[in-house]
Amino acid sequence: MRAGFRNRAFVMPLVVLMALVTSMMVAVLLNRNSVRRSDAEWALNSYVEEHRQRGVREILAVWLQFSAQQDFESMLASDGTAFTLDYSGGRRLVVRLLPAQGAPVIDPEGVDVDQATNAALSPLIQRQIVERTAEILGSRAELLGRRSGPIAVSLYDASPEVIRAVTRAVMQNDQLAEEYANQLIRRRDDSEAVDTQALLMIARDLEVPDNLQTQLSGIWTTLPALWSARVELTGPGADGRDEVIGRYEALVFIPREETTSPLLTGSEHPSAWFLEWRKLDEGVGYTPIPGLGAY
């Protein structure tokens, strides 16, 4: 009896151990299958999202091609809406365009040196100006600047802080730069015409050196070519109500009329293209388009 009891006592822990091992193996297999399903879902979602973004970019590119040679600013609504497209499945695409060239380039490697409007702005000088501008703006450089595009800054879209920083970066004379920037800001805010001749006149009145006069006339533009495209794609959700499917932002170069002086556009590139493109996540650098609700 005692021997049989001891055998049964020995067998029971072994049975429990085997059951535990078996359950662990089942759990591992189930988890492995779950991971495989998750990987498959992730791959499928990535594929769908990639093609969705490609389609959105193609739609926007077609609009740009037909609108760039026109006075497309007059085509924008007061909130910047360029167009709304309704298509199959109850989906809607809303695109807004906002001026983006009021921000200075802050990355020396990102400046498009081929877009300079005069020979005084050599690639080396452009990168030096960009580097000094970023240093002058300091901690606010990321907030006020952009990473790519032509060096020219849109005079009518730039903040006084940006105008002063860029002027200091070009002139490297704080007192003279302050006087020049103040006159430029006053002339702009008083709705006086600002063209190449006006820029040269301000610089000459202050006795700015000739080489800097030329650089200053090429650093500003009154007809910006850079725009920020804000895109929202919405469609019916599981409950039937519209929800945001995708949010995107692009830095877009829009060429202007062929007859327009490059001194006004700040660029000579013949066609439109996307300098930057990114998908926006909720709560990360994103403000919903009015009328589509807060998400």
Q: What angle do CA 177, 181, 183 make, to 5 degrees?
A: 120
In the structure encoding, which two tokens stand for residue 187, read together?
Answer: 């002339």
In this structure, are 133 and 208 located in the same domain?
yes
HSE on the CB side for 175, CA within 13 Å? 2
Q: Which two tokens stand for residue 162?
A: 């940006």
Q: Are residues 135 and 212 in the same domain?
A: yes
Identify the domain boundary among 168, 186, 221. 221
Same domain (yes/no): 123, 198: yes
Could you give the 3-state DSSP secondary structure of residue 117? coil
| Whether residues 210 and 129 fall in one domain | yes
In a domain, 107, yes or no: no
- With a CB cutoff of 8 Å and minimum separation 6, the contacts of 159 are 102, 144
**Shared-domain flag, residues 247 and 290:** yes
Binned at pLDDT 50, 70 and 90, residue 141 comes out as: very high
Alpha carbons 281 and 208: distance in angstroms, whole number: 47
Is 239 in the same domain as 285?
A: yes
Domain residue limits at 263? 71-100+225-295
Q: Is residue 127 part of a domain?
A: yes
174, 210: one domain: yes
Per-residue pLDDT tens digits for 31-57: 665 656 666 677 777 777 787 888 888
* Shared-domain flag, residues 210 and 235: no
For the entire predicted model, the pTM comes to 0.72
- How many domains does the chain divide into? 2
User: Is 6 part of a structural domain of the chain?
Assistant: no
- The answer to whether residues 147 and 106 touch, using CB atoms and an 8 Å cutoff, is yes
Residue 1, in any domain of the structure: no
In this structure, is residue 171 part of a structural domain? yes
**146 plus 211 within the same structural domain:** yes
What is the H or E stretch that residue 176 is in? helix 174-189
In the chain, pLDDT over 90 holds for what percent of residues? 38
In a domain, 232, yes or no: yes
pLDDT band at 275 (very low <50, low <70, confident <90, very high): confident
Q: How many residues does the chain have?
A: 295
User: Which residue, of 179, 203, 221, is where some domain finishes?
Assistant: 221
Has residue 150 been placed in a domain?
A: yes
For residues 258 and 190, state if they share a domain: no
Q: How many CA atoms lie within 13 A of 279 on its CB side?
A: 13
pLDDT tier, 259 (very low <50, low <70, confident <90, very high otherwise): very low
Q: Which of 289, 278, 254, 252 lies closest to 96, judged by CA?
A: 289
The answer to whether residues 217 and 131 belong to one domain is yes
The answer to whether residue 17 sits within a structural domain is no
Give helix then strand counts, H and E, for the chain.
Answer: 8, 7
- At a CB cut-off of 8 Å and minimum separation 6, what does 173 contact? none
Strands 91-99 and 220-221: unpaired
Q: At residue 176, what is the residue type?
A: L
Q: Are residues 178 and 263 in the same domain?
A: no
Which of 221, 248, 276 lies at the terminal end of a domain, its last residue? 221
Work out the number of other CB atoms within 10 angstroms of the CB of residue 22: 10
